Amino acid sequence: MKKLPEPVPVLRELRRTLLLEMSGGKKRVPTDGEIRAWMLEQYRLNPVTADVYRSTLLAKEDLVLREDELPRTGEALDLMSSLEDRPLPKNCFASITTTDGAVHGILMQQEQLQVGGLVYAVTIFSPTDQFSTVSRVEVRACSHEPEPFVSLMTQSGWHRYSKTDAAQNEFVVLIVRCLAAYHQYKYRKIPIGQISSDENILTPPSDGTLDRLIRDAYLGIIPCTKVSLKLDRIEPEDMDFALQISSDIIKNAMTYVVDAGIPSVELLLYERHGKLVMGDDYPIYLAYRALLYKDVPAVIIGSFNREGINIIREGHGELIPPIVVASAAPVKVKKIVSDQQKQLKQKLSLLAPVGPTSTGHFENLYVSFARLLADHKTAERDLHRFIATHPVIVDSHLASMYSEVCIGSYRADLILRYEQLDKRILLIELERHDDLIFKRSNRLRDKVNHAVQQVEDWISSIREDATPMPEWLDKSYVPEGVVVIGRNKDMTRVQRDTLFNINSNRVVKVITYDDLLERLKRLIDMLARRNL
């Protein structure tokens, strides 16, 4: 019998390759600043690729298997329906060595579909070419809209497969088997004979109502509903018991209830006297409160008031979340004499993490803006709305921003008003992010010249004190102008130099959306140096 090759781990080597690139080819651990700058640049260039890099760094484990250890094709295809109700982590990784010795690193990213359900974006790395080429597959887990089951990215575009057709493609089958293997690993079934009681487990008080509801849900008598709701809508069934749970148990729960910054462990609830009651998942509930989350996932058994609750999916017992058991040292029970909610809040406040930093906020803003710019479907009004909502993208020192401002017979897209002694304002005209700036002759396109002229007309109207005009705006202000259009990638080096020279001699500048990203990046770097 031919000896099967030993499985080879890939994740560590892949991360080493990424870190080497971040450090500029130097064999050392890159600094926080280098990692931040590299990741932001990747998001500017291609947010999809940047997400892959980020997920590779965030994956907590590398499941290393031989191909013969994967579930068989039929079993794997049957398991795919479970990936919606029992999802994989947001970012997970597996290393698969095939029977012929080929090694694949497989990154699986769990994402929400707009229509509901999930999609698993799978990226396949090959160590043999230093990870320079990848393959991309998307596998859908959506009960109410299951097709296309698989989408495979090729040089000629995306190829779509039904579940039946997918079984005929060896490469797709390998991916499906890998997803199934990780699902079996995450939701391991323990033989009942191996389950033993731990005397240190803090057992919640019996909740007969919840027990009956769970039984009826599994029998299909009453419905279950997967939801997202405000945490403050939930109250523990037994507050005395909640106060007895030690900080160590809550701290342990805080390590697993969140996946990639998103609450991921569902609470099991039911409605009683108009209130949503949690009678079993105390450590999870308390962990969410300690982490200061406002919205959490849950499954509600039976009927309930749906107002203000986001409904994700309806079903029966199959939606009930798996059991999570937490153990801890024995707890001495104390008599509760003061306000229980106040005591619980004080206890959890000691476990609360430090609030989000300014740097983290602006990094998220940068990534969101980069995603908008990478999408050709993004409309001009979408960019207008985003910048108007986040004016720091244009300038971190502004005092006020005004949108759609009437200036005489014109209407300015955006105006920034500064509260400095020289009373400056900046007039902004937004054009499409995928518009070209130059002709082949390296002259500005007519659309650019028209936009510049439009801003110059606004400036003239302000100087002439034309009407109508906002009360705060008069000719004592010093007006400047800018046209934001296009991307750097669509200009040659000569064209970028030409634009620089043009801007040096004009009151109305022409900049790209990449220039706005660069301004935001400089702000992030400054805040990072100050540890803000």
Domain boundaries, the chain: 11-186, 208-349, 359-529
SS3 469: coil
Q: Judge if the upstream peptide bond of residue 148 is cis by omega within 30 degrees of 0.
A: yes
CA angle at 213 for the pair 208 and 219, rounded to the nearest 5°: 130
Q: What is the number of alpha carbons within 13 Å of residue 170 lying toward its C-beta?
A: 2
Q: What is the CATH architecture assignment of 208-349?
A: Alpha-Beta Complex (3.90)
pLDDT for position 323: 63
Q: Residue 229's closest CA among 297, 172, 180? A: 297
pLDDT for position 207: 78
SS3 220: coil
Distance (Å, whole) CA 41 – CA 49: 11
For domain 359-529, give its CATH number from 3.90.660.20, 3.20.20.140, 3.40.1350.10, 3.90.1010.10: 3.40.1350.10
pLDDT for position 496: 95
Give the CA distances from residue 42 to residues 18, 36, 517, in Å, rounded to whole numbers and listed in that order: 12, 10, 12
CB 120 within 8 A of CB 83: yes
SS3 366: helix
Q: Tens-of-pLDDT digits for all 532 residues of the chain?
A: 567 778 889 999 999 999 999 988 888 888 888 889 999 999 999 999 999 999 999 898 999 999 999 999 999 999 998 999 889 999 999 999 998 889 999 999 999 888 888 999 999 998 877 667 778 999 999 988 999 999 998 888 889 999 999 999 999 999 999 999 999 998 877 666 655 555 555 677 777 888 899 999 999 999 999 999 999 999 999 988 998 898 888 998 898 888 877 898 999 999 999 999 998 889 999 999 998 899 999 999 999 999 999 998 899 998 998 765 444 443 333 333 445 556 656 655 556 555 455 688 899 999 999 999 999 899 999 999 999 999 999 987 766 889 999 999 999 999 998 876 668 899 999 999 999 999 999 999 999 999 999 999 999 999 888 889 888 887 788 899 999 999 999 999 999 999 999 999 899 999 999 999 999 999 998 888 876 5
Per-position b or e across 496-522, b if 16+ CB within 10 A of its CB = eebbeeeeeeeebbbbbbbbbbebbbe
Distance (Å, whole) CA 520 – CA 367: 11
Distance (Å, whole) CA 422 – CA 336: 63
Q: Judge if the upstream peptide bond of residue 468 is cis by omega within 30 degrees of 0.
A: yes
Distance (Å, whole) CA 214 – CA 281: 14
pLDDT for position 349: 59
pLDDT for position 27: 84
Supply the pTM of this predicted model.
0.77
Distance (Å, whole) CA 362 – CA 236: 36
Q: Residue 259's closest CA among 358, 186, 315? A: 186
Amino acid letter for position 421: L
pLDDT for position 335: 36
Per-position b or e across 300-331, b if 16+ CB within 10 A of its CB = bbbebeeeebeebbebbbebbbeeeebebeee
- 353 Cβ neighbours under 8 A, 6+ residues apart: 291, 292
pLDDT for position 333: 35
Instruction: Give the torsion through C-alpha atoms of 334, 338, 340, 344, to 10 deg.
Output: -80
